[in-house]
Amino acid sequence: MYSEPMEWLNYHHLLYFWAVAKEGSIARACEKLRLAQPTISGQLRLLEETLGEKLFTKAGRGLTMTDVGHVVYRYADEIFGLGRELQDVLKGRPRGRPLRLRVGVSDLMPKLIAYRILQPALEMSEEVQMVCDEDTPERLLAALAEHRLDVVLSDAPITSMMPVKAFNHLLGTCGVTLFAAPHLAARYRKKFPASLDAAPFLLPLEGAVLRRSMEQWFDSQNIRPKRVGEFKDGALMKTFGQAGAGVFAAPSAIEKEICELHRVATVGRIDSIVERFYAISIERKLKHPAVMTISEVARGVLFGNHSGRQ
């Protein structure tokens, strides 16, 4: 029947691994499966030998999954989920299986922008189960290359220097708005932008795309700001801004939301600074239905009024 020899996976071994990973320990998996600990331990060793990879490492008195273990667990979860679905269908209880979207969000990307980009996926007619991971772009791209993510959202494109073959899909562009607590905004709005010389500023850390753009803009306007604080976490920076610690910058596409959420006011807009946002995938052409949806809505609605510049 088969022209080539096939490598068969023992699904009993996979089930025991899945149970241990899901329960968090061999002891709890033993209770769940009603099996002796030596049985499960032995089956795990056989599975690791079959795969040629370690699936767990010791962490104190417990176990933690290796990177390969996480990949195997994801597939095992899909396999046994399909098995449960098959049983339901055969018993006359058909279930619609939600579309799974695994997305990585760069830790430097504004969270409100990420939410606005991803929101349309949850409004699709087809049910979507979203799994979000936030990390450095380098780690997210590594996960993308290993097919552990469907897409990565970033405020910077992947470059040829990255050891990952992936493709940039521009979602849109927008300018930058400066915000501050209402009493500061009223003060610095007068004679903007000259009024910002010596003004207290809250800035992203050096190396961030927006930080470089702001520094260049300061130089072009002959402005020497008072650098009150530097932040990796944009939400924390906005909290300081809300408390009146200084002026901060954020994408103009979410200007209204920032004012309402953080109770701040606009100081002025900088259209010469262009923020770009990307969906990065291993596919030259987007194919995942949810990724296609968020891309279309971002380009047509979220950034539609701001994307005149590329």
pLDDT tens-digit series, residues 222-270: 999 999 999 988 899 999 999 999 999 999 999 999 999 999 999 999 9
Q: What is the pLDDT of residue 306?
A: 60
Q: Domains, the chain, ranges and CATH?
A: 11-90 (1.10.10.10), 99-169+279-302 (3.40.190.10), 173-276 (3.40.190.10)
Q: Are 21 and 77 in contact (CB under 8 A)?
A: no
Beta-bridge partner residues of 64: 57
DSSP-based three-state secondary structure for 211 = helix
Euclidean distance between CA atoms 253 and 241, whole angstroms: 18
Euclidean distance between CA atoms 233 and 121, whole angstroms: 25
Kindly state the average pLDDT of the residues 70-79: 85
Dihedral sign for Cα 30, 36, 42, 43, please.
negative
CA R_g for the chain: 25
Q: How far apart, in Å, are the Cα atoms of 223 and each of 83, 103, 183, 199, 216?
A: 64, 39, 21, 9, 10
For the entire predicted model, the pTM comes to: 0.69
Contacts of 50 (CB under 8 A, 6+ apart): 9, 10, 13
Is the confidence at residue 104, as pLDDT, over 50? yes
